[in-house]
Amino acid sequence: MRTRRKAFSTAKVVAALLLIVIVMGVIYAGNHFFRLQGQREQEDKENAMVGSLVAAMEAGDVDGDEYKNMVSFFKGFKKEASFDYKRKYENLYVENDFNFKEPQEKTCYLTFDDGPDNYVTPQVLDTLKKYNVKATFFTIYNGSEQGTELYKRIVREGHTIAAHTYTHDYTKVYESVDSYLDDFDKISSHIEKTTGVKPEIFRFPGGSINYFNASLYRQISGEMIRRGYVYYDWNISAEDAVRAGVSAADITRYALSGDSSMQKKIVLMHDGPGHRNTAEALPGIIEGLAKQGYKFAPLTKEVMPVVFS
């Protein structure tokens, strides 16, 4: 009899413990469910804001105050957001009040992608120095001794040094948001380590909308904006990368195209390997734009972006 009573008591204890475990499990599961639900609602709200901002940028219908409000909203999700890439690369944030201005007089922003190249970039810099023109260099990785000096020279001579891409391998860069951030972190870190300047503006390889990033460009753009960065496309292309061996005369003609009454021109050129004709064309481009009434300035995070739609 005592054995049966003892067994019965033990069974009640086990049953009670099991009930407690089940109740605790239900409570945990409920809390987890509501926490995930809250995260999803935050993500949906943020994605809607990102989409609205990027769409407004594409339409040219956004001002500095709108940027400030939206970026302030994005920053609230730095720690709470559940997308893994939002927790990575804590150094990839820059302070930015997104206080954009349009130029008060006709201004041309000469920009060079894919350098520094050990042969082409020195020629470009020599010409810019001769004409006392400041430009913007969207750089890739060059680990050579001469390349290191060129990064430093760009900064030393008053130009804007900006990030383009570390590898320039579109398939890798645009594989995912994570892969884009990984590449950007490498080139940003290299520029800062080499020059002491942390780049605050950047240009997407291939521009903000292209074949390789068609399914990701809004997500990547929104994430970079959330982190305080500004990206720039262009409204004039010198067409020096459409094919190999574009002549200096054609590069000059394309760079001088477009309505000469445009208040702001952001001209795309390249100073990477194989672009000697761009360096040769540069004096004529500067002189031609000056005749059209343009002054020259480097891009900074205060310049209202030109972005593709």
Which has the closest alpha carbon to 134: 112, 107, 153, 160? 160
107-296: which CATH topology? TIM Barrel (3.20.20)
Q: Are 286 and 133 in contact (CB under 8 A)?
A: yes
For position 65, what pLDDT does the model report? 57
Q: Are 279 and 124 in contact (CB under 8 A)?
A: yes
Q: What pTM does this model have?
A: 0.78
What SS3 state is found at 59? coil
Report how far residue 236's alpha carbon sits from residue 238's, in angstroms, rounded to the nearest whole number.
7
List the chain residues with pLDDT less than 70.
1-83
For the chain, the domains span: 2-87, 107-296
Verify whether residue 32 is a known catalytic residue: no
For position 82, what pLDDT does the model report? 47
Of the listed 159, 270, 271, 275, which one is catalytic? 270
For position 81, what pLDDT does the model report? 44
Of the listed 113, 114, 117, 240, which one is catalytic? 113
For position 84, what pLDDT does the model report? 79
Report how far residue 67's alpha carbon sits from residue 84's, in angstroms, rounded to the nearest whole number.
24
Alpha helices in the chain (DSSP H): 2-58, 64-75, 120-131, 145-156, 170-173, 177-195, 217-226, 248-255, 276-291
For position 77, what pLDDT does the model report? 45
Verify whether residue 113 is a known catalytic residue: yes
For position 37, what pLDDT does the model report? 55
